[in-house]
Structure 1
Amino acid sequence: MPRRYCQDSPDAITSCVLEDMVLLYHRPSGQTHMVISPVPEILATLDGGAALTADEVLGQLASLYDLGAAEEAGPQVEAHLAELTELGLVRIA
């Protein structure tokens, strides 16, 4: 069964856009993270509270953005989700 990812809580992350970079303040840990695209877009797909698989996240992103080759985009989305999980910004449901 594929892993499902979600945000910890709707108010756990505060963001501030600075040109091409986004600062994410994670309230539970007190840490600030500097990220670039596609991390903010991935987090936005998980913002609705539903737990999604990496393929579902990829599908939502593909409906909004030109991601190029799916065989490259899929592993990249999975890698970002793994990193976000390690940082505590996303959790496995």
Structure 2
Amino acid sequence: MNGHYRAEPETALVVRPLDDIVLLYHRPSGQTHMVVSPVPEILEALCAGGDGDAAAVHDWLAQTHDLGPREQAISAIAAHLADMAAIGLVRAL
């Protein structure tokens, strides 16, 4: 569950914040996803770092966010990454 992932190229997504949600239009699939935190932040971390696993995303996010206990946060991020891969927002490597 703690594999490596890469964000889709920035050109693949149209990102539109809307109050507490973010609309992500995924050009390759033609689907629009409504997401909330931490999905946009996870995408940002992957875009900034190129690719990585849940621990790398955690370390990037922990610089600016209070994520709570490390192992619990990494587990939650790993679950989000798996869900994001299932809908095509990130790619498992």
TM-score, normalised with respect to structure 1:
0.91
Give the corresponding residue for 1:68.
68
The letter of the residue matching 1:41 is E
When structure 1 is superposed on structure 2, of 28-37 and 8-17 the one drifting more is: 8-17
CA drift of 1:10 comes to 2.1
Where in structure 1 do 4 or more consecutive aligned residues deviate above 4 Å? Answer: none
Secondary structure of the 1:3 match is: coil
Give the corresponding residue for 1:79.
79
Secondary structure of the 2:52 match is: coil
Give the corresponding residue for 1:56.
56
CA drift of 1:49 comes to 6.2
For each residue in 1:35-61, what CA deviation from the matched residue of structure 2 results, as whole angstroms up to 9, or x when unmatched? 000000000011136111111001101
How many residues get paired? 92
When structure 1 is superposed on structure 2, of 39-48 and 49-58 the one drifting more is: 49-58
For each residue in 1:19-73, what CA deviation from the matched residue of structure 2 results, as whole angstroms up to 9, or x when unmatched? 1100000000000000000000000011136111111001101111011122321
Equivalent-residue separation in structure 2 for 1:86 and 1:69 (angstroms): 26
Equivalent-residue separation in structure 1 for 2:74 and 2:49 (angstroms): 22
Question: Is residue 36 of structure 1 aligned with residue 36 of structure 2?
Answer: yes
Give the corresponding residue for 2:7.
7
Give the corresponding residue for 1:18.
18
TM-score, normalised with respect to structure 2:
0.91
Identity, % of aligned positions: 48
Supply the RMSD in Å over aligned alpha carbons.
1.3
The alpha-carbon distance between structure 1 residues 57 and 49, as it changes in their structure 2 partners (threshold 3 A), is closer
Secondary structure of the 1:17 match is: strand
